[in-house]
Amino acid sequence: MEKLQPTPNTVQTKAFFKPANRIADIKPYFFASLNQRISELKSKGMDIIRVDIGSPDLPPEDFIIQALIETAQNPNAHGYTPIGGTPEFREAVSAYYYNRFGVELDPQTEILGLIGSKEGLFNLSQVVLNPGDIVLVPDPGYPVYSSAGLIAGAEIYKIPLLRENAFLPDLNSIPEGVLQRAKLLWLNYPNNPTGAIAPLEFFKRAVEFTQSHEIIIAHDAPYVDICFNGYRSPSILEVPGAKEVSIEFNSLSKTYNMAGWRLGMAVGNSSIIQSLHTYKSQLDTSHFGPILKAGTTALIGDQDWLKDRNAIYQQRRDIIVQNLKSMGFEVHIPSAAIYVWAHLPKGFTDSIEYCSDLLEETGVSTTPGIVYGQHGEGYIRISLCSKKEILEEAMQRMAAWTRSRRP
Please choose, from the candidates 183, 263, 261, the residue with its C-alpha nearest in 3D space to the C-alpha of residue 222.
Answer: 263
Distance from C-alpha of 81 to C-alpha of 356, rounded to nearest angstrom: 44
Quick: pLDDT tens for 231-247. 999 999 999 999 999 99
Q: Which residues contact 214 (CB under 8 A, 6 or more apart)?
A: none
CA distances from 135 to 81, 153, 217 (A): 33, 10, 10
* pLDDT tops 60 at residue 13: no
The answer to whether 383 and 339 have CB atoms below 8 angstroms apart is yes
The topology (CATH level 3) of 62-300 is Aspartate Aminotransferase; domain 2 (3.40.640)
173: number of Cβ within 10 Å: 9
Residue type at 164 in one-letter notation: E
Q: Span 27-56+305-405: which CATH code? A: 3.90.1150.10
Question: Which segments of the chain belong to CATH 3.40.640.10?
Answer: 62-300
Between CA 38 and CA 228 the distance in angstroms is 31
> For residue range 140-178, what is the model confidence (pLDDT) as tens digits?
999 999 999 999 999 999 999 999 999 999 999 999 999
Give the model confidence (pLDDT) of 64-106 as tens digits.
999 999 999 999 999 999 999 999 999 999 999 999 999 999 9
For the chain, residues classed under CATH 3.90.1150.10 are 27-56+305-405
Pick from 235, 230, 4, 249: nearest CA to 122: 249
Question: What does pTM read for this prediction?
Answer: 0.93
